[in-house]
Amino acid sequence: MSSGKTLRNVFTVGAFTMASRVLGLVREMLQSRLIGAGTEQAAFTLAFAIPNMARKLFGEGALTAAFVPVFKGEVEAVGIEKAARLARAVITMMMLLLAAVVALVLAGVLGAVAGADAFGFSHRTRLTLALVAILVPYMLAICGAAFGMGVVNALGRFKASSFMPCLLNCIWIAALLFLLLLPGTVEMRIKFVAWAILAGGFAQLAFMFVAMRRAGVSPRPSFSGWSDEKVRLVWRNMGIAALGAGAVQINYALDQVLAQLASEWAAGVIGYAERLMDLPLGVIGVAFGTVLLPTFSGLFAKGDVDGARDALASSMRSLMFVMLPAAAGLFVLAPEVTSVVYQGGKFDATATVRVSRALAVYAVGLGFFGFHKTMVPWFQAQNDMKTPLRVSVATVCMNATLNILAVWLLPVEWRHVGLAISTVICAATGCALLVVLARRLNGPLGLAGSVGPLAKMLAASLAMGAAVAAARPLVAGFPAVAALAALISLGAAVYGLLSLVAMRDQLRGFRLRFRRRI
């Protein structure tokens, strides 16, 4: 696949992801006002983390990373029919395994709820358990849907999988709008939201099963071919990748526990900051990660290492062209963005300060977060799951150590900021390790020619940030939304002008690649 085709696919994924993120922003604006950033939101954040961890492990995480290169290789070598049999065998095994896990977790949670009085659980713990009981079945739906995304993406069909998250956001928003019309406690509201998420998950599963069928891969259960060599290869690679993904998820769970220890509000505050950071990261970083795994898989299956190098280099430049100014803008405008998006109702000015501090730190790491999502598929596409595993384990140990120090040493109001700083440091370290190890595996990656363009992008982004910061007093008397819109417009104009002056080659490359319709 040419770099132009890669970028056109990224544009497709990014456009639909932008729609999903905008809907997600509307969702967060509603939820912050209805739920706030207190105990209820913290309990929801912790409960929702459980199915999300499963999604990253079994759905779009280890299993997809192990499955897509093998599936893509089968498509290239023997055609769609045999590859479809492989997909049906793997998804059947996965869904049965997940059903058993859901049943066990649900039984344990319901048992804990029944014994809440005997154990002396706090109100927050009881609420967390109640939300976990509602959301655990969501694990089955979203993992199946995420696997379907991997199948259709491997076949070069990115529109359906990119649109899928919009379904959940639409159902979530509808539930929040319904709650606006009803009186009730915050606890009642968050439980209603949890039920809406569960319904949205199964709607996503049905949608992706239809998309799989249209792509030529029926999602019907298959109990044959489980011992096939390629199926065993998928599960063997999945086992290795799961160790890395599991280490990351264990670290994420530790972060949540440490956030709970830091203060009763820290987990909810960090969750709000992460979702704001996810807007540019999800639109651009995730789009590249989504497209590059099947792209690299196809190129390596053909032995075209030079083509893979070209796709990596051009993707990295295109990624940073957007991520660096987004990072500078979010860093400077963190208070304004947080206030406009969240503040109101149950979300007060104190919560705005707390979230904006974490958001400013996360903004510094945006480029690293995005680049990490382009480097990991480089190894996965070569069925090398061990290298990302080693990097994950190293960064997880570092992150755990830094997080414990942050909770132990920092004042209460800054502990969540320390957790965010740790995340950024570990992301930067992970990127450096992945580049070094990729060079050992494949030789030069063709990134040296990107140093000059990246330096220009960074300089333009810093200049844009300085201009926005300098202009902030000029809009002090504006309404909050108008002030933010004016500052964003100024930043976009400054960066655009500097790009026209200093980055004409990069812009010309974009124009040539996107000349054809997607």
Domain-located, residue 341 = yes
109 with 130, same domain: the answer is yes
Q: How many CB atoms lie within 10 A of CB 240?
A: 19
209 with 316, same domain: the answer is yes
Domain-located, residue 516 = no
Q: What is the largest CA-CA distance in the chain?
A: 70
Q: Which of 392, 423, 446 is the last residue of a domain?
A: 446
26 with 149, same domain: the answer is yes
Question: Which pLDDT does position 201 carry in this prediction?
Answer: 93
Number of structural domains the chain divides into: 2
369 with 470, same domain: the answer is no
Alpha-carbon torsion angle 14, 17, 19, 24, nearest 10: -140
Q: How far apart are CA 128 and CA 48, in angstroms?
A: 9
Question: Which pLDDT does position 514 carry in this prediction?
Answer: 47
433 with 461, same domain: the answer is no
Mean pLDDT of 276-287: 74
pLDDT digit string (tens) for 18-47?
787 788 888 888 888 888 777 788 888 888
Q: pLDDT > 90: what percent of the chain? A: 27
Question: Which pLDDT does position 10 carry in this prediction?
Answer: 66
Binning the chain into helix, strand and coil, the percentages to the nearest 5 are: 85, 0, 15
344 with 478, same domain: the answer is no
Q: How far apart are CA 290 and CA 302, in angstroms?
A: 20
Domain-located, residue 257 = yes
Q: How far apart are CA 346 and CA 184, in angstroms?
A: 14
Domain-located, residue 515 = no
8 A C-beta contact, residue 242 and residue 62: yes
Residue 237 — very low, low, confident or very high, per pLDDT cuts 50/70/90? confident
Instruction: DSSP letter for 224, please.
Output: S
Domain-located, residue 518 = no
Span of 27-36, 358-367, 398-407 with lowest mean pLDDT = 27-36
CA-to-CA dists, residue 498 to 485, 490, 507, angstroms:
20, 12, 11
475 with 407, same domain: the answer is no
360 with 459, same domain: the answer is no
Q: Which of 424, 446, 468 is the last residue of a domain?
A: 446
Domain that holds residue 483: 452-508
407 with 493, same domain: the answer is no
Q: How far apart are CA 399 and CA 410, in angstroms?
A: 16
DSSP 396-440: HHHHHHHHHHHHHHS-HHHHHHHHHHHHHHHHHHHHHHHHHHHHH
440 with 465, same domain: the answer is no
Domain-located, residue 513 = no
Domain-located, residue 435 = yes
pLDDT digit string (tens) for 107-144?
988 888 888 777 778 778 888 899 999 999 998 998 88
Q: How many CB atoms lie within 10 A of CB 488?
A: 15
Question: Which pLDDT does position 228 carry in this prediction?
Answer: 81
The listed range with the strongest mean pLDDT (29-38, 90-99, 229-238, 343-352) is: 90-99
Span of 35-44, 59-68, 317-326, 504-513 with lowest mean pLDDT = 504-513
425 with 460, same domain: the answer is no
Residue 518 — very low, low, confident or very high, per pLDDT cuts 50/70/90? very low
Domain-located, residue 514 = no
436 with 457, same domain: the answer is no
Q: Which of 402, 417, 446 is the last residue of a domain?
A: 446
